[in-house]
Amino acid sequence: MSKRWIFSPPNKSLQSEIASKLKISHLLAQVLINRGIIDITSAKNFLQPQIAALEDPSLLPDIEKASIRINEAVRKKEKIVIYGDYDVDGLSATALMYRCLKLVGAQVSYYIPERLEEGYGLNTDAIKKLKEGGADVILTVDCGINACREADVARSFGIDLIITDHHQPGQEIPNAFAVVNPKLKTSPCVFKHFSGVGIAFKLAWAIGQHFSPHKKVSAEFKDFLLNAVGLVALGTIADVVPLLGENRILTKYGLSALQYTEIPGLRALLDIADLSNTNLDAFHVGYRLGPRLNAPGRVGNAGIVVEMLTTTCRERALEIANFLDRENKRRQDIQVDIMASARKKVMNEINLDETTAIVLADQAWHPGIIGIIASKIVEEFNRPTVMIAIAEDIGHGSARSIPSFHILEALEYCKSTLLSVGGHAQAAGLKIHPDNINEFRLMLNSTTSQRLSKTDLV
């Protein structure tokens, strides 16, 4: 479909001021203005990000409480389990925290839920399993902010649950031991748009401060943090959070750390992707490294990625990296088939002139791939899209949206037809009984037709 271009009117006076004070071209100054960077300090920080500009981690809600509890667990030799997620952000955050806690001598392990069996986030069966394994503290990374029922289960088992997450909180906050999220209403953070691994980095920094007799971390811990920003760059870029503010700082230094990393798993990954001698940028992470790291979580078990990112054995790291490469090729083959099937359904079954939201469903589709396809359908047809993979008596759905439309709000409107739903403005996940799909399609189109104009769909 053809695209509608929207041009921002030039701001000549502000353009001249920024260009003059920063000694840059008027064109670059206008690009900064178009991106919402309209003062000298912000423009300078955007063009010349400095690691010294990172806010102290203590500004994050509950981070002091969380780091003190982790310090206590290390001292008492209690068992800490890191509960992650199966995407690149969650996996890199899990690896970062695991390496951090190993460095301070913790009794630590990690748990990555299986996408197809367990779905996203904390679940009660996993908490029970971890309790049976002796967990004293569960530390979530990149998940947990809406896990109210699961937090109550953990508390009933005597487990101290520490939630670190970057997703939007709901109206109710889990009754956990600590909840570290910059988007909480009580958060004094100036910058709130971290990735999950960005918040894990801040917690690692706070832990390092607590294990030092001074406010500053030790030289050994400083070296760890400066190397760990490579993992932060992976998750931050792959999760497509804004590369502004602290994210931009962490990504700039992280790409450099990644290029020269001595972490065996990252070194092996760069070798397999033929990037060992490349000046890395966001494209390389987003389109070369990210898909390989994501592949096992889409078509198998993602835990092996954390093993690769934490192992000290170069041979094992290379073995896993080769496996990730094969899994990514398998994912690509599955993706081609599903894309062809989905596109055929749109062309043959949907009248786009009368449709404001596309809902597609099929029993042959792999639930780990449909999110990618939903994004591609949105890109081609410029309509909010829900892809549903049907397995037995349940449909697993992935929703993606156009920039001007809040898909989660629309799905909440259709909640009566759904078994569960969660996500944010541009992407969401849901579960639905197959018998409800037609009703859901009608209800979603009803609300999108009221909220979207014809020009929104061009």
- Structure confidence by residue, pLDDT tens digits, 7-53: 888 999 999 999 999 999 999 999 999 988 999 988 999 999 999 99
| Residue 347: pLDDT over 90 | yes
| Residue 269: pLDDT over 60 | yes
| Confidence category of residue 113, pLDDT binned at 50, 70, 90 | very high
Q: Among residues 129, 131, 120, 173, which one has the least CA distance to residue 148?
A: 173
Residue, of 356 and 2, whose pLDDT is higher: 356
Q: From the options 3.40.718.10, 1.20.1290.10, 3.40.190.10, 3.90.1640.30, give the CATH code of 57-322.
A: 3.90.1640.30
| Cα angle 307, 313, 319; round to 5 | 65
* Ramachandran class of 274: left when φ > 0, alpha when ψ lies in -120 to 50, beta otherwise: left
**Torsion angle of alpha carbons 367, 371, 372, 377, nearest 10°?**
110
Q: Among residues 91, 93, 72, 225, which one has the least CA distance to residue 160?
A: 72
Identify the pLDDT of residue 2: 58
- Strand 394-400 to 427-432 pairing: antiparallel
Q: Percent of the chain having pLDDT more than 90?
A: 86
| Residue 1: pLDDT over 70 | no
Q: What is the CA radius of gyration of the chain?
A: 23
d(CA 186, CA 61): 7
Mean pLDDT for 359-367 is 96
Residues sharing a CB contact under 8 Å with residue 124, sequence separation 6 or more, in sequence order? 149, 150, 153
Contact yes or no for 194/54 (Cβ under 8 A): no
Identify the pLDDT of residue 355: 96
φ, ψ dihedrals at 274, nearest 5°: 60, 45
Mean pLDDT for 335-342 is 98
Contact yes or no for 205/64 (Cβ under 8 A): no
- Strand 107-111 to 137-141 pairing: unpaired
pLDDT in tens, 240-261: 898 999 999 999 999 999 999 9
pLDDT in tens, 277-307: 999 999 999 999 999 999 999 988 899 999 9
Identify the pLDDT of residue 3: 66
Residue written as token pair 């001595």: 262
| Confidence category of residue 422, pLDDT binned at 50, 70, 90 | confident
Q: Among residues 284, 227, 270, which one has the least CA distance to residue 99?
A: 227
Mean pLDDT for 431-458 is 94
Residue, of 115 and 51, whose pLDDT is higher: 51
Domain 350-457 classification at class level: alpha beta
Identify the pLDDT of residue 431: 93
Q: Which H or E run contains 178? A: strand 178-180
Identify the pLDDT of residue 47: 95
Identify the pLDDT of residue 30: 95
Tell me how far CA of residue 138 lies from CA of 84, 161, 272, in angstroms.
10, 5, 34
| Residue 60: pLDDT over 70 | yes
pTM score: 0.91
Contact yes or no for 148/155 (Cβ under 8 A): no
Mean pLDDT for 71-93 is 98
Identify the pLDDT of residue 256: 96
pLDDT in tens, 192-241: 999 999 999 999 999 999 998 877 899 999 999 999 999 999 999 999 89
d(CA 67, CA 73): 10
d(CA 389, CA 436): 14
Report CA torsion sign: 389, 391, 392, 396: negative
d(CA 430, CA 410): 12
